[in-house]
Structure 1
Amino acid sequence: DATHPFAEVMSRNAAEAAAATGVPLLALRRPGWSPAEGDRWHPVASLAEAAAALPALGRRVFLTTGRQGMAAFASLDALHFLARSVDPPAEPLPAHTEVLLARGPFTLADERTLLREHRIDVLVTKDSGGAATAPKLTAARELGLPVVIVRRPELPAGVPVAEDVAAAVAWLTAGGPTA
């Protein structure tokens, strides 16, 4: 299972199919992000919790949670959103939303500029891990911005995890779950 860390339904379906057929399953998941000194992270369990936290943290939101799930923020009419995603986001959208279609990797210089030019005062993101989109976290830290970070869903019980391709190959080479 090499799906996105937030592809909860696909991971659950893979686990159920593997269990039903007796096929071994390994989840390939890059490590999540870890806070650094100076970070102002506010971890939450869901997009709904992220939306509930926002009014106390800022008014100009950089939303990088992907194209799905915008409905969680749709009722926040007093806030202004800059929503970045690869594909156009699904509706409903918050009333004051500017959509920025872009695909990483993103540079630290570009993220600093984006946050400043749009006068962002809070970042909302999912803990997808990886380097391609991590510079936004560094830029937020440098600017002293709070970050609402949605924690990853749990993998289905009993599914072993490899953090990179080398670990997955080692698991396969060792015989998978029988080793």
Structure 2
Amino acid sequence: MMWQDAEAMASWLAGFAGLEVADEEGLGLRQPPAKAAAVLVAVHWQDGEWRIMLTRRTPHLRNHAGQISFPGGRIEPEDASARVAALREAEEEVGLPPAMVRVVAELPHYDTVTGYRVTPVLALLQGAFQPQPSPQEVAEVFSLPLALALDTAAYERHPYVRDGVAGHYYALRYGDYFIWGATAAMLRRLARHHAANP
């Protein structure tokens, strides 16, 4: 494919809408998914390659402090859809104007161990973007090479025990960044789909 062609990339990304999910993430015991959330998986061209935008949460947050995540959060009652929620959260967290975002697909939801049902919203950024992270929520905005995210061999499997139930989670290393949990699991779904549909 033509990696520098935005139209070709948008068309290619839209193919992930057909992603099939096999529940083999190994998370073991999960709470019932009672809380709806959405995240923005934003692909953009930077430094000669396609990349995915990620954030590092501030260390003082009550939940997920210091973790790597996509921009996103709860779907509020006033949000008309997961797409609207993801765009709203991205604007609040990193200053991303919705007008710069071309949504190409909503991916199958991901259920977390903490009871969230997360809808990943896959999108292409249109034009150069200078992040303006919210100091209350985001310590840093960075981007992960898409080629690394799509490499199934790059994911590490780690065992854990939660509430007496054994399971495992996946992690992805990029420089000093350790991406794990739901974020790594959702990225790995993209990688597995890409490997099965090259």
TM range (shorter): under 0.3
Q: Where is the helix percentage greater, Structure 1 or Structure 2?
A: 1
Higher RCO, Cα 8 Å, sep 6+: 1
Relative to the length of structure 1, the TM-score reads 0.24
Structure (1 or 2) with the greater strand fraction: 2
